[in-house]
Amino acid sequence: DELISQIAAGEVVERPASAVRELVDNALDAGARQITVRLAAGGVRLIAVEDDGCGIPRDELPVALRRHATSKITNLHDLESVATMGFRGEALAAIASVSEMALLSRTAQQASAFALDARSGELRPAARGTGTTVEVKELFFSTPARRKFLKSDTTELAHCVEAVRRHALARPDVGFAIWHEGRLVEQWRASAAPDVDADAALRQRLGDVLGDDFLRNSVPVQLRLGAVTVTGRAGLPDAARSRADQQFCYVNGRFVRDKVLTHAARTAYEDLLHGQKQPVYALYVQIDPQRVDVNVHPTKIEVRFRDSREVHQAVRHAVENALAAPRA
């Protein structure tokens, strides 16, 4: 079982950033409003993700580490329309099998927090407010072959920051902080009233994460075509870059890498961007969950649309319209 977990781990965690992504997913699923990520040595020595979510009840701490133990899906039908980020119940088990993991958690009902050491199984009372801290130390210590593939701490740190950035762009209502070796690397504050003005909240977050320059040099995207709604902001040609590293696409709140979406956006820029310039954008696609399959890959970064033409058209038109609209 240890071996099976380690093999599964290979699919779920290839580097510290993959663990960061999974742990932040879990924090968001737990309803966190503030998520703090602490890293050491690019995440290889330490990844600690601290949230103020609902917490894990004492008796469920050992269960959370078990493979295919998920509190999020109760039947196969749910798979069709998962609203939570996680649903496979393999992330914690996988990460624990290639690291030294500890869980520290407290629910609102409990008088104290409890800490679980994954390796020894030792469970003891601890101090903490409501929420969860997952601590991952010495990633890949037992799989040196995999550890050898890791890049420099600086590169791994950059990937970790990127993983959090992707979440941050999807959730302006949640505050994020990233620390590395005791130094604050990034901090994105939660919007004060995300429910009152979601547009303003997203605008602020886009400015915080992508820079005020991007805000000045971009236009709002807003289009509904059939079953697909596309929102977000598209950078003007002036904001284009040499690399395609500032293209963020979301499907029902999930960051995805998808050729249909990038191609649609690319097509919308075709006449505006010549040469090798890459547009900058953050696009949010909302679609009936029945029309998209998110269960394609363990990392959930890929999706499959039931009707990719409908999505392609919606995204292309959304961006084209935005870029063509007269600017105030």
Report the DSSP beta bridge partners of residue 131.
106
- If the CB atoms of residues 30 and 249 are measured against ligand ADP, the closer one turns out to be 30
Angle between helices 259-269 and 308-324 (to 10 degrees): 30
Which tokens in the block code for residue 326?
């007269």
When binding is defined by CB under 6 A, the residue of 89, 207, 237, 289 that contacts ligand ADP is 89
Q: Which of residues 119-148 bind ligand ADP (CB under 6 A)?
A: 132
| Residue 28 within binding range of ligand ADP, rule CB under 6 A | no
x-or-dash string of contact with ligand ADP, 103-122, rule CB under 6 A = --------------------
| Residue 53 within binding range of Mg ion, rule CB under 5 A | no
| CB contact at 8 A, 164 and 50 | no
**Residue 124 to residue 7: CA distance in whole angstroms:** 30
- Per the listing, tokens 């696009």 go with 283
Least distance (Å) between residue 264 CB and ligand ADP: 30
User: What residues have CB less than 8 Å from 47, skipping those under 6 apart?
Assistant: 16, 19, 20, 23, 37, 38, 39, 135, 136, 139, 160
**Residue 129 to residue 105: CA distance in whole angstroms:** 8
| Residue 228 within binding range of ligand ADP, rule CB under 6 A | no
- If the CB atoms of residues 119 and 306 are measured against ligand ADP, the closer one turns out to be 119
- Of 311, 35, 42, 293, residue with least CA distance to 166: 35
When binding is defined by CB under 6 A, the residue of 42, 43, 53, 235 that contacts ligand ADP is 53
The number of C-alpha atoms within 13 Å of 239 and in the hemisphere containing its C-beta is 23
- If the CB atoms of residues 95 and 251 are measured against ligand ADP, the closer one turns out to be 95
When binding is defined by CB under 5 A, the residue of 91, 98, 161, 234 that contacts Mg ion is 91
Q: What is the DSSP letter of 8?
A: H
Q: Which of residues 254-293 bind ligand ADP (CB under 6 A)?
A: none
When binding is defined by CB under 6 A, the residue of 9, 19, 30, 190 that contacts ligand ADP is 30
Least distance (Å) between residue 71 CB and Mg ion: 10
- If the CB atoms of residues 91 and 115 are measured against Mg ion, the closer one turns out to be 91
Report the DSSP beta bridge partners of residue 286.
229
- Of 219, 194, 326, residue with least CA distance to 283: 219
Residue 39 touches which of ligand ADP, Mg ion, none (Cβ within 5-8 Å per kind): none
- If the CB atoms of residues 93 and 280 are measured against ligand ADP, the closer one turns out to be 93
Positions touching ligand ADP (CB under 6 A) are 22, 26-27, 29-30, 51, 53-56, 64, 69-72, 86-93, 132
Positions touching Mg ion (CB under 5 A) are 25-26, 86, 91
